Chains A and B, each alone.
Chain A
Amino acid sequence: MRELLELLEHDARRPISEIAPMLGKSEYEVEQDIKRLEKDKVILSYNTLINWEKFGDNMVTAIIEVNLMPQREVGFDAIAERIYRFDEVRTVYLMSGSFDLMVIIEGKSLKDVANFVSTRLSTIEGVTQTRSHFILKPYKKDGVIINDEERDRRLVVSP
């Protein structure tokens, strides 16, 4: 099952007719496996990694360090939920170290993101401090090198 997940994580569009022989299973078995993994929410969604900058979009991404005042009974979870419910928020992690949540936000402009942080994020009860870091240039995302110059340099035929 792990191998199936690794294949899909690498390329979710790989046809089942290719995956099945690679795993030594029938297409029907692979289909059932995938259905079960989806139902169990092991597979959460199938996304496409897009180089928006190349497309011409100038989206702004910021990583926000958030400090919280933990609440009785629910700890950080309740505040985290109030934060991750926003559409602008792409990713939220609970962190060890000098801050509590790492929140990744996407917006149309610097102003857009700053506005969200100051009016929405920092005003949530329990949020004690935020520090914003804007991403200047992505080099590698989710295991994919953005501008990969490596290519097949082998001879066409060799012994």
Chain B
Amino acid sequence: MKVQRDFKERLSPAVQSIQPSGIRKFFDIAAKMEDVISLGVGEPDFVTPWSIRESCVYGLEQGYTSYTANRGLLELREEIARHYDSVYDVQYDAATDILVTVGVSEALDLAMRALLSPGDEVLIPEPCYVSYQACTILAGGVPVAVPAKLENEFRITPEELEAHVTPKTKVLLIGYPNNPTGAIMTRKDLMAIAAFAEEHDLLVISDEIYGDLTYGGEEHVCFSALPGMQERTLLLNGFSKAYAMTGWRIGYVLGAPDLIAAMTKIHQYTMLCAPITAQLAAIEALRHGEKYMKKMVAEYDRRRRLIYEGFTKMGLNCFEPKGAFYIFPDISTTGFTSEEFAEKLLESEHVALVPGNAFGACGEGHVRCSYATSIDKISEALARIENFIKHHRR
């Protein structure tokens, strides 16, 4: 469209203040390359298991094409409640404590809009997923970045959080296993965070979308299963990562009835409900999908060990990730910034990855590599990266 006027200044100040994702630039370059190997993809390389796809196809044949209850199909909410009861021994009432959303992304947006008043501060450990800051700002809140450290394997500590608390702090937003670092928090780590949340009477939003992808003999610890935490926690989860269902856009939020009711109010006027097709698929995933999920997790685990060894052998400073499907090596010894490294690597070796600073300032000096890709591609990418580093070591 040809426009005479500049409408930019008419945009809401909140929207103007948000920067477009730094990932976009790499996408544009990489998309044009023929033989690019991408370690830059934040989603599984598996297709959704067939039994899940088939249940959706069957649902369509049976004519399931309507709206559902705003909160989502009761059957699905009951399956979610059963899942949390059996896996984490934490009880949620399907009628009042669960809202099915269009992915965790919507759940996060709803949570922020339901909880925040203008000026309320949200503590966000970084590096973190790219939408945490943006969702906070769009809801009128103020994101307060709390940098996590490599020497702590990117786990956050109460002391670090303490240094950023003010009287305006209302919410703590955590996401473990973590995108982009692959860090997890042990029970002991989280107990300390729970005590901190209690002391400052904070609400906690815990994004546990990668919870099922926990490796190396560790077990995912559900934040709301910690003593006293359930009622102050909004637990976000979904099907995208563990069940390879990113494109279905289906997630959920679990929490206290008042909070869920407030989020449902926004959800009913904006989204109305999550797609019924995706809800049917999600029911199947919870009922029969576990064995397929476990198989994918085992495969990620093998790739994780391979890529970790690869980076370690190259001499890069890199801690062993125990969750999600990312590894976050320190590339500062090359003398490049994260962005330079990513750009030059893409140009000369045709390997795409994401600069660490896209996930917060403290991610500078690192790059995020996703190992949600085949072993052959991982091996080839490692060889190319090694070659690149050899020629650029300073």
CA distance A104 to B254 in the complex (A): 55
The reply to whether A157 and B27 form a contact with Cβ atoms under 8 Å apart is yes
**Pick the contact of A155 from B21, B41, B47, B129 — CB < 8 Å?**
B41
Distance to closest chain A CB from B308 (angstroms): 8
The number of chain B residues with a CB under 8 A from chain A is: 31
The reply to whether A158 and B45 form a contact with Cβ atoms under 8 Å apart is no
Chain B 29-57 per-residue mask, 1 if CB under 8 angstroms from chain A, else 0: 01100001010111101010000000000
The segment out of B170-178, B201-209, B299-307 that lies at the interface is B299-307
Chain A stretch 15-29: residues in CB contact (< 8 A) with chain B: 18, 21-24
Chain A 1-32 per-residue mask, 1 if CB under 8 angstroms from chain B, else 0: 00100010000001000100111100000000
Q: Which residues of A sit under 8 angstroms from B179, Cβ to Cβ?
A: 159
The reply to whether A159 and B42 form a contact with Cβ atoms under 8 Å apart is yes
Tell me the interface secondary structure of chain A in the complex. loop
Q: Which residues of A sit under 8 angstroms from B130, Cβ to Cβ?
A: 159
- Write the chain B residue with the least CB distance to A152: B45
CA distance A22 to B379 in the complex (A): 12
B245 at the interface (CB under 8 A from A): no
The reply to whether A22 and B303 form a contact with Cβ atoms under 8 Å apart is yes
B23 at the interface (CB under 8 A from A): yes
The reply to whether A156 and B45 form a contact with Cβ atoms under 8 Å apart is no
- Write the chain A residue with the least CB distance to B303: A22
- Write the chain B residue with the least CB distance to A22: B302
Chain A 57-97 per-residue mask, 1 if CB under 8 angstroms from chain B, else 0: 00000000000000000000000000000000000000000
CA distance A23 to B303 in the complex (A): 10
Q: Which residues of B sit under 8 angstroms from A39, Cβ to Cβ?
A: none
**Pick the contact of B40 from A22, A23, A156 — CB < 8 Å?**
A156
**Pick the contact of B354 from A150, A152, A157 — CB < 8 Å?**
A157
The reply to whether A156 and B30 form a contact with Cβ atoms under 8 Å apart is yes
Distance to closest chain A CB from B106 (angstroms): 15
**Pick the contact of B305 from A14, A24, A159 — CB < 8 Å?**
A24
The reply to whether B305 and A154 form a contact with Cβ atoms under 8 Å apart is no
- Write the chain B residue with the least CB distance to A25: B305
B259 at the interface (CB under 8 A from A): no
Q: Which residues of B sit under 8 angstroms from A14, Cβ to Cβ?
A: 375
Given A21-B309, A150-B47, answer yes or no on A157-B303 (Cβ-Cβ < 8 Å).
no
- Write the chain A residue with the least CB distance to B310: A21
Binding site for A on B (CB under 8 A): 21, 23, 26-27, 30-31, 36, 38, 40-43, 45, 47, 129-131, 179, 298, 302-303, 305-306, 308-310, 352, 354, 358, 375, 379
Since A3-B298, A24-B305, A158-B23 are in contact, a sample of 20 more A-B pairs with Cβ atoms closer than 8 Å, ordered by chain A residue number, is: A18-B306, A18-B379, A21-B310, A22-B303, A22-B305, A22-B306, A22-B375, A152-B45, A154-B45, A156-B40, A157-B40, A158-B41, A158-B42, A159-B21, A159-B23, A159-B129, A159-B130, A159-B179, A159-B354, A159-B358
24 A-B residue pairings within 8 Å (CB atoms): A14-B375, A18-B375, A18-B379, A21-B305, A21-B306, A21-B309, A21-B310, A22-B305, A22-B375, A23-B302, A154-B45, A156-B30, A156-B36, A156-B38, A156-B41, A156-B352, A157-B26, A157-B27, A157-B38, A158-B23, A158-B40, A158-B42, A158-B43, A159-B23
